[in-house]
Amino acid sequence: MHWRLIITPPEPGYSNMALDETLLESGIAGGPPTVRFFAWQPGCLSVGTNQPLESQIDVDWVREQGYTLVRRPTGGRAVLHDGPRELTYSLVAPVDDPRVSGGVVESYRKISSGLVAGLAQLGLAARMAEPPAVAAARGGSPLAAARAELAARRNARPNPGHSDPAGAVCFDEATDYEITVAGRKVIGSAQTRRGGVLLQQGSVLLEADLERWARAFRHPSEEARKRAQTHLTLRMAGLNDFLPTPLRRDQVAVALQAGLEAALDLTLAPGHLTPAELARWDALVAGKYATDAWTLRK
């Protein structure tokens, strides 16, 4: 089966998020399943659709550094999209398509299998973070699996509250089926579903300036910020940390395309936006994603 492949040049955050919502709406209207690879110019800090902003993000610092702010249509936690240090993907498909079907966690697993296959082509031994319940079930104890599942639900932090600034960072931990290399998270993803169609967005780190990541978030003290930075050093990394020669974004996009095609049994055919999609993209920029009413909403 052929899905549409779209590769766009670097765009501001509000433009990128408006386009992804456009592709979601297009899918709801019967448009083709689509995979997009893109980047951010200028750099941007994005927050999940329901994530607190002012209480968790140092908005003044972010803007002083020349980054923009945007609220994503997907959930999850904040990501610092640091210009050339990252490649981002989005995927839109019907939730009943067997290549991505199942609940959110199962669709994560299927899509992540393609991402892992793509990273393998780059010489990276990536793994999917195993849900606690799956690990416990593999150990052979149904009771342990049930307890692990309950604990996972209780400890889930998709949009942490005001008292948890460190938990505001997407790459703070690898959740179900997210991608790690040597135990450190290198791809963070988030998903939303609407009208029988899913939109998954994911950040692929090539490099991670952990000082800037820690600085972008609010902490009760400078000492707490330094502890958070040390913590992130153990939890997250860029792909280039594991390779002798730095990767380019286009190399990573080609590898991930091949991995998704192989794992999901599909062909990604280069495509273009329709006139209706272009018009809707512009409308969503002006009416939603470039507005403080959306980005700064409580």
Q: What is the largest CA-CA distance in the chain?
A: 55
HSE, CB side, 13 Å, CA atoms: give it for residue 75: 11
For the stretch 191-234, pLDDT in tens is 999 999 999 999 999 998 888 888 888 888 889 888 888 888 88
Task: In whole angstroms, give the CA distance from residue 137 to residue 133.
Answer: 6
- Residues facing residue 86 across a β-bridge: 205
Work out the number of other CB atoms within 10 angstroms of the CB of residue 17: 28
CA 149 → CA 30, 36, 101, 136, distances in Å? 36, 33, 21, 9
Helices 249-264 and 104-121: crossing angle, nearest 10°?
120
Name the strand (E) or helix (H) holding 193.
Answer: strand 184-194
Q: What is the CATH number of the domain that holds 36?
A: 3.30.930.10
Res 137: pLDDT: 55
* Domains: count for the chain: 1
Cut 0.85: pTM above it: yes
Q: How many other C-beta atoms are found inside a 10 Å radius of the C-beta of residue 297?
A: 11
Domain range for 77: 2-295
Q: Which residues are the active-site residues?
A: 170
**Residue 198 in contact with residue 212, Cβ under 8 Å?**
no
- The residue-averaged pLDDT of 223-247 equals 91
Could you count the other beta carbons within 10 Å of the beta carbon of residue 242?
17
- Does the pLDDT value for residue 248 go beyond 80? yes
